[in-house]
Amino acid sequence: MVVPRYHRCDVVESTNDIAIQLARGSEPEGTIVVANQQTRGKGRRGRQWWDDYGQSLLMSLILTPDIPQSAFPQLSFVASLSVAEYLITHHNLPSRLKWPNDVYVNNKKISGILIEITTRPGGLAAVCGIGLNAAQTSFPPELASFATSVSIETGAHVAVDNVLPCLVGTLLQNYSAYLALGFEEILARWRKYIWGIGCPANIVMDNTTITGTITGVDPNGALVILDADGTEHVICAADAVNLRLDK
Ligand code: BTN
């Protein structure tokens, strides 16, 4: 199993950016950059990731799997599954996974994942960035109706320093399972937590929006949508998946 090696920082622009630099300099697999705060936290698709000093788990793990480049996005399923399993096992929180890799509890986002790929001497590395709202007891007004934290959901104080080793343990175990048993094993477990099956949804992509019902995730991890005409759409990447929970 991969052994974690922590690089602890206080305030940084983005732990992913630091991990990418370290990966390019041949830092080994298992290196984890952790920070108390980010001033330019990166979300998916150019969005920002908000955090609160010392209240959020902010980590970026370097992985160097011997897999084709096209399979690297599978690591986001390994990571989101690990966050969901961690939240259920350690906090008894009913986590749901919103495709492709957001973790929700009680209809609010608790964690986001950003996988970035870089070249390094001898091959490629993935940087697996995880933001988990841990100890926040409130959020800024513009986020309050969308975001939640472990402390809010459990009603208990949560120490970020205790979250880190448990989450990393789950993640590295699932990474080993992925390498040994393949993506199928991870996807089968991931599907148990999928949010939105049978739910009407708008899938927003670069030039178009598809409206339909989510029917599942195919063996490659793509989202499958059935529209009102009965046409099946297989979606590999989207700007936003808006579930219409009122319908
Ligand atoms: C998303 O939901 O859009 C993904 C958010 C990913 C945020 C994490 S926080 C640690 C790591 N460093 C970053 O700059 N981003 C990721």
> Is residue 114 in contact with ligand 1, taking CB distance under 6 Å?
yes
Give kind and range of the element (H or E) at residue 74: helix 74-91
- Helix, strand, coil shares, percent, the chain, to 5: 30, 35, 35
Main-chain dihedrals φ then ψ at residue 220, nearest 5 degrees: -95, 0
User: Encoding tokens for residue 207?
Assistant: 């030039």
What is the distance between the alpha carbons of residues 186 and 182, in angstroms, rounded to a whole number? 7
* AA identity, residue 207: N
Would you state the pLDDT for residue 147? 97
Neighbours of 28 (CB within 10 A): 13
- Best residue among 13, 109, 114, 241 to mutate for probing ligand 1's pocket (most ligand atoms within 8 Å of CB) is 114
Q: Which two tokens stand for residue 237?
A: 């990447």
pLDDT one digit per residue (tens) for the chain, 247 residues: 999 999 999 999 999 999 999 999 989 999 999 999 999 999 999 999 999 999 999 999 999 999 999 999 999 999 999 999 999 999 999 999 999 999 999 999 999 999 999 999 989 999 999 999 999 999 999 999 999 999 999 999 999 999 999 999 999 999 999 999 999 999 999 999 999 999 999 999 988 999 999 999 999 999 999 999 999 999 998 888 998 876 6
Helices (H) and strands (E) counted in the chain, each on its own, are 6, 12
Q: For ligand 1, is residue 148 a contact (CB within 6 Å)?
A: no
